[in-house]
């Protein structure tokens, strides 16, 4: 089963659901990711965290998450 994430909040909820399903605390996930518990709290609430932290959490939890932005803005001038 895949979780779909259209926003940082969706991604955070998916990570929290998987973390709790695996019986892992925020402190334990933070330790595995090399960050504080507060950073995990921020991640789970859709707050600003480094992409590398989110990817580590997803990988460590064995998550299958499809991340798709709702609105994609393409600047043709930049292409």
For 30-73, the pLDDT digits (tens) are 999 999 999 999 999 999 999 899 999 989 998 777 767 665 55
**Neighbour tally for 74: CB within 10 Å:** 7
Please say if the pLDDT value at position 1 is more than 70. no
Q: How many H-runs (helices) and E-runs (strands) does the chain carry? A: 4, 2
**Residues 40 and 46 sit within 8 Å (Cβ to Cβ):** no
Is this prediction's pTM over 0.85? Answer: no
Backbone angles phi, psi at 65, to 5 degrees: -125, 130
Please say if the pLDDT value at position 19 is more than 90. yes
Which structural domains are found in the chain, ordered by start? 3-70 (1.10.260.40)
pLDDT of amino acid 6: 75
């Amino acid at each position: 089963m895949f979780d779909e994430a259209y926003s940082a909040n969706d991604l955070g909820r998916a990570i929290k659901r998987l973390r709790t399903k695996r019986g892992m605390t925020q402190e334990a996930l933070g330790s595995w990711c090399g960050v504080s518990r507060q950073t995990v709290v921020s991640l789970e609430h859709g707050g600003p965290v480094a992409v590398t932290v989110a990817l580590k959490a997803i990988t460590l939890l064995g998550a299958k998450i499809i991340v798709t932005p709702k609105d994609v803005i393409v600047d043709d001038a930049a292409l």
